[in-house]
Each structure stands twice: as structure tokens, then as C-alpha cells.
Structure 1
């Protein structure tokens, strides 16, 4: 479903910072691949999620047994 080690907020901020470069390379497949690679590196290095006491949304979506209450 998603990577529980990544912060969706931080990823969205990273994507926002790359929008201009992405739009500028839409007609250049090689350039677009380079920009997407750069974006992937930024996300990998800077968009880690801080440790939490309780599981986050992505973790709960991936494993419902982590809920601390029963579903009816």
C-alpha cells in the first residue's frame, strides 16, 4: 500500500519543490527520467518518518492487527 518509513507530508513537500523541473522536462524523456531519479534520491534521504509510539496510517492500512481496539 505504501512505505511506512516515509512521511507523506515530507514527500509532498519534496514533490512540490520538483514541480518546475518536472514540467520543464515533460517533452524530454531522458531529462524526465533524470529529474525523477533526483526526486527519488531526495525522497530516500530526506523524507523519513519520525519514530512514533503508535502506528501511523500507512502501518494501520498495511496491518489492521496493529489497531488498539476491535472492529465490529
Structure 2
């Protein structure tokens, strides 16, 4: 399990363990703010470095070491 704190996610770098569509390296480009604002963070937007394509994922998915590694490798 990757040790991740939601307040430190913005602009963090991640490597997909199993790349899809030649996308391996990602950057957390945005934190999707919950409604109401005092609720806990649930989603982040990650952007593929190679293609620039962005997608929204649950931030807790980044804690799964079988899917993500912290940093670019």
C-alpha cells in the first residue's frame, strides 16, 4: 500500500504498474472538490504525460501498490 495523504496529491507523479494505451506516467493535475466543500476529498484528476489525456479516478486508488507506484519509474 502506498502511503498517500490527500492534501499532498496535487502535482504528484505516478507510474502505472500496468500501462494502457502507452500511458505509463501520470501527474495529478487537479483535486475534484466535493459538494459541500467541508466533505472529504473523493476524486482526483490525473493526466497522462505522453498523451495529455486526463481522467478522473478515486484518490484512494493511488494507494493500491498493484496498480500505481509513486514517482516516475
TM-score normalised per structure 1: 0.24
TM-score normalised per structure 2: 0.23
- Structure with the bigger RCO (C-alpha within 8 Å, sep 6+) is 1
